[in-house]
Amino acid sequence: MNLLHIAILIPFFSVPLIPLLAKYAHRIHTGWFVMAVPVALLIFFAGFYSSSQPLEPLLYTVSWIPSLGIDFSVYLDSLSLLFALLITGIGALVVFYSIFYMSKTREKLHLFYAYLMLFMGAMLGSVLSDNLLTLYAFWELTSVSSFLLIAFWYHRKRSRYGAQKSMFITMTGGFFMLLGFIILSSAGGTLSIRELIALSDQLAQHPYFLPAMFFILLGAFTKSAQFPFHIWLPDAMEAPTPISAYLHSATMVKAGVYLVARLTPIFGGHMEWFWTITLVGLITLLIGSMKAIRQSDLKALLAFSTISQIGLIMCLFGIGSIALNSQYGDSSLLFAGAVLAGVFHLINHSIFKGCLFMMIGILDHETGTRDIRRLSGLIHVMPVSFTLTMIGAFSMAGLPPFGGFLSKEMFFTGVLTASRTMNSAFIFIPIIAWLASVLTFVYCMILIFKVFMGPHQPKAGERIPHEAPLGMLISPMILAAFVLILFFFPNMIASSLLEPTVKAILPQVFANGAEWHVHISAWHGFNTEIFMTLGIILLGTVMYRYITKFTDVYDSIPLRFSLNRVYDNGITGMERLAGKITGFYITGSTTHYLSYLFVFIIVMAGGSFFLQDAWSLDLSGNAPIQTYEYLLGFTTVAAAIHMVFTKSRLISIIAVSVIGYIVSLFFIIFRAPDLALTQLVVETISTTLFLLCFYFLPRVSKYITPMKFRLSNALIAVGVGTTLTLIGLSTQSHHMFESIAEFYKDSYKLAGAKNMVNAILVDFRGFDTMLESVVLFTAGIGIFTMIKLRQAGRKQP
């Protein structure tokens, strides 16, 4: 196992240790211990980064389930390194921020940090896995851990609702993604992403290539909150703010972006891939920005802005994928610029959105409210918070001198390239992009001017506003510093990280050694992009001035047409349908339940024998049946029939004992005295206990009414008896496999026993008894735990 494998597993190893540390380190905040994990991982992955030369890809494989071709393969190139640095870097800052944000006395910190480390490990596994099924396992683990984090304050109804909604949507998309992975691996004959990329031309000829593509995109779109699956992200904001800063800005919502980037070498160049990603990204970009400007909750505003910004990145990756289309081969390097813009904005967005989420958490923490309508004039009492929020918001708006300005200009270049190179009819792409950017400018101005400018309202929230403690400000300060650094020194990562990442996403474009170097500058003269930016500022300022006129349009749209209403009605409808179906067969009648089981036996067991033509009866090898054996058999049947129809308990007990004693006679006839003795002892004890118990019970006729004859019950009884009898006779007459008796004949020697009966009773039966003891022990632990929890619940006020 390589160090990369260990790096992925370290967060998982820390999960069971965190509760122990929290239990015994009462005076120290648990976050100080946990912070060692992301910091160590950040240092480890930073060791692979070099400012002078790009990373040489590394591939390490550990066999996991070789019979199914599933390996724990990790692949580290510039693309996965970029995401690993974001996951660990932002993760370290979030943990440090949580130390001052999360209350040590009021919160269950051991659960908070355990869930957080579980998520970090799952994200690292997702971006470093080369095996599709391994990637899927980590992918779904991110949904499970994010569910736990969103529902951390589970006593709140909205937290439970948001967690359920996010997991339902993302895991449904993950299931379709799994179908796509299975189709893709079947077409290529391998689960390795590297090998599938090498077979991309062959895969394109497969008849199920497009279904696999769309299934995989469903998984990517649901995870990255793309239209129409974006509705889960605003409700996920019920999570603690550090979780929003980590999951919903820098990591989880970027997982779908990573998947699209990683699989672009396979699907890129196909128009279906281009149109699907580009249009979904544009629609998401526009809808997210439209929704953001009418929000009154600061976290809801950032949630919709995240949806919008991820749509922007998706759109760029969709446009850039055309570089792999041979029809536009001459312009492939121009389209590679769109991928470059997507990668650069992905970095910028993780930084400025993480900063903004932390600042919103600070505003909520220090004022007691996130309602924009109740906040104003905070610049007078929170000048540092204003400065940091302004840096993040202006970067998101795409204004200089902040990093977001550079990637936003590159975004405009990308959409203009698509319009000019492909077809002038595609002018709608830059138009929609520009309109969405105007709305982005507007909600950024709302965030700054409505919250921090205007008259100060000291009693607007639950607390008197004041500046946050230094510890809570350090993390957003670091992120805000990076926002400025990326504007003034963008080329420090241009050749060492951005360029090799683009080449990892579009390897076919640079396979022939095409010369392409990245150089980023803030000024390119008075070109179309700069005029688009000036137009955004002018129109955005006018819209902000008359914002109420624009938001009134939303109020005229009936709520029943919203996607949230569709989701809620769908869930309610499924619950009702499930209730009706369940109520149909869950009747509370034991007779009905037994009927279901017996019919299932008849249909499945009998049907399988019938379809396989397995019915056979060969009595040639059987010993002749003697007269006394017929008598004993008929006596057993007569006793069983008499037991069913008698109304006396005493006669029923005698009939049952007759059956048991006759069975022991059969054992004697077949020369099995030890079994006969055991049967006689058990039967005698059972009969005695029955007689002792039933002596104190009232008469049967008093409380039990005789059953009426039902044809359905009779048919089921005859069907089960006939099916099992025929199966027994058929298995006796027809052997598909070698008899296990041959194994028992020799196994007793290996067990060190004198005969096979001893070996069966001591070794095989003893092993079974040991497992039964383990089951009982496990059940006992569960019962003991439930009793302790119930007692603890009673002690709570």
List 59's β-bridge partners, or say none: 75
Closest CA to 225 of 181, 149, 291, 274: 291
Average pLDDT, the chain: 87
Full-prediction pTM beyond 0.85? Answer: no
Closest CA to 405 of 413, 417, 397: 397
Q: Which amino acid is at 729?
A: L
Q: Assess whether pLDDT exceeds 90 at residue 118.
A: yes
Boundary (domain end) residue, out of 718, 738, 758: 738
Quick one: pLDDT at residue 116? Answer: 94
Decide if 760 is inside a domain: yes
Quick one: pLDDT at residue 435? Answer: 93
What does the block give as tokens for 510? 């640079």
Scan for tokens 């008075």, then name that residue: 526
- 273, 352: one domain: yes
- Scanning 268-402, the segments in alpha helix (DSSP H) are 271-292, 298-320, 332-367, 383-397
- CATH number for the domain harbouring residue 661: 1.20.120
What mean pLDDT do residues 560-572 have?
83
Q: Assess whether pLDDT exceeds 60 at residue 216.
A: yes
Q: Assess whether pLDDT exceeds 60 at residue 332.
A: yes
Give CA–CA dist 98/110, Å, rounded: 12
- 734, 757: one domain: no
- 382, 523: one domain: yes
Give CA–CA dist 498/348, Å, rounded: 12
- 283, 364: one domain: yes
**pLDDT tens-digit map of 273-300:** 999 999 999 999 999 999 998 888 899 9
**pLDDT tens-digit map of 493-534:** 988 899 999 999 998 888 777 778 888 888 877 888 899 999
The answer to which of 107-111, 558-562, 725-729 has the lowest mean pLDDT is 558-562
Quick one: pLDDT at residue 796? Answer: 55
Quick one: pLDDT at residue 611? Answer: 81
First to last CA, the chain: 50
Q: Assess whether pLDDT exceeds 60 at residue 10.
A: yes
What mean pLDDT do residues 583-606 have?
88
Quick one: pLDDT at residue 554? Answer: 60
Boundary (domain end) residue, out of 720, 738, 756: 738
Decide if 257 is inside a domain: no
List 561's β-bridge partners, or say none: none
The answer to which of 2-11, 381-390, 598-607, 743-752 has the lowest mean pLDDT is 743-752
What mean pLDDT do residues 591-620 have?
83
Give CA–CA dist 266/272, Å, rounded: 13
- Residue 42: helix, strand or coil by DSSP? helix
The answer to which of 144-153, 242-251, 504-513, 613-622 has the lowest mean pLDDT is 613-622
Quick one: pLDDT at residue 287? Answer: 92
Give CA–CA dist 402/483, Å, rounded: 6
List 75's β-bridge partners, or say none: 59
Quick one: pLDDT at residue 551? Answer: 65
Give CA–CA dist 237/257, Å, rounded: 20
Quick one: pLDDT at residue 704? Answer: 54
Domain count, the chain: 3
**pLDDT tens-digit map of 334-357:** 888 899 999 999 999 999 999 999
Quick one: pLDDT at residue 583? Answer: 87
Alpha carbon 635 to its chain centroid, in Å, reads 61
Give CA–CA dist 5/23, Å, rounded: 29
Alpha carbon 443 to its chain centroid, in Å, reads 31
In contact, 328 and 335? CB cutoff 8 Å:
yes
- 481, 597: one domain: no
Report DSSP letters for 181-219, one per residue.
Answer: HHHHHHHHT--BHHHHHHTHHHHTTSTTHHHHHHHHHHH
- Residue 62: helix, strand or coil by DSSP? strand
Closest CA to 367 of 290, 298, 265, 294: 298
Domain hosting residue 651, numbered range: 590-738
Q: Please classify residue 589 by burial: count the beta carbons closer than 10 Å to its beta carbon, then call 0-12 exposed, 13-18 middle and 19+ buried.
A: exposed
Decide if 453 is inside a domain: yes
HSE, CB side, 13 Å, CA atoms: give it for residue 2: 14
- 528, 412: one domain: yes
Boundary (domain end) residue, out of 738, 762, 787: 738
Cβ-based neighbour number of residue 211 at 10 Å: 15
Q: What percent of the chain has pLDDT over 70?
A: 93
Q: Assess whether pLDDT exceeds 80 at residue 702.
A: no
Decide if 527 is inside a domain: yes
- 538, 637: one domain: no
Decide if 439 is inside a domain: yes
Quick one: pLDDT at residue 711? Answer: 84
Quick one: pLDDT at residue 649? Answer: 77
- 398, 424: one domain: yes
List 437's β-bridge partners, or say none: none
Quick one: pLDDT at residue 249? Answer: 76
Cβ-based neighbour number of residue 535 at 10 Å: 13
Decide if 522 is inside a domain: yes
- 476, 373: one domain: yes
Please tell me whether the peptide bond between 706 and the residue prior to it is cis, using omega within 30 degrees of 0: no
Q: What pLDDT band is residue 424 in, cutting at 50, 70 and 90?
A: low
Alpha carbon 679 to its chain centroid, in Å, reads 54
Structural Rg of the chain based on CA atoms: 35
What does the block give as tokens for 513? 């050694």
Q: Assess whether pLDDT exceeds 90 at residue 79.
A: yes
In contact, 472 and 100? CB cutoff 8 Å:
yes
Quick one: pLDDT at residue 130? Answer: 92
- 725, 755: one domain: no
Give CA–CA dist 103/791, Å, rounded: 27
Quick one: pLDDT at residue 516? Answer: 82
Decide if 161 is inside a domain: no
Quick one: pLDDT at residue 557? Answer: 56
Decide if 18 is inside a domain: no
Quick one: pLDDT at residue 461? Answer: 62
- 451, 325: one domain: yes
Quick one: pLDDT at residue 76? Answer: 94
Quick one: pLDDT at residue 30? Answer: 87
Give CA–CA dist 139/125, Å, rounded: 8
Q: What pLDDT band is residue 556 in, cutting at 50, 70 and 90?
A: low
- 522, 603: one domain: no
